[in-house]
Amino acid sequence: MNSNHVKGAAKDAEGKVRRTVGTATGDVSEQVKGAAQQVKGKAQKALGDAQDAVKPDPAVPPNRRP
């Protein structure tokens, strides 16, 4: 897990809250802003996942890596 993963998850959660508040208050603009923030958060989280996937396994010695 890296900073992009954590920050992305936080943005996603914040967007969900904004979207919910917009729905509760009937504010369509806030709903759209929340949805956009969720998309940004999910994208950043996916970037963090991809970075983790390509990170070398620390259990494998450097001279044994492909």
Segment 6-20 mean pLDDT: 96
Q: Residue 58 domain-assigned?
A: no
HSE-CB at 28 with a 13 A cutoff on CA atoms is 0
Q: Is the dihedral of CA 51, 37, 13, 39 positive or negative?
A: negative
Give the range of the structural domain holding residue 28, as residue numbers without chain letter. Answer: 3-53
Q: Residue 59 domain-assigned?
A: no
Q: How many domains does the chain have?
A: 1
User: What is the structure's pLDDT at 66?
Assistant: 66
Q: Residue 60 domain-assigned?
A: no
Q: Residue 49 domain-assigned?
A: yes
Reported pTM = 0.78
> What is the C-alpha to C-alpha distance for residues 37 and 31, in angstroms, rounded to an integer?
10
6-10, 12-16, 38-42, 55-59: which has the minimum mean pLDDT? 55-59
Per-residue model confidence as pLDDT tens digits over 37-61:
999 999 999 999 999 888 877 787 8
Q: Residue 31 domain-assigned?
A: yes
User: What is the structure's pLDDT at 57?
Assistant: 74
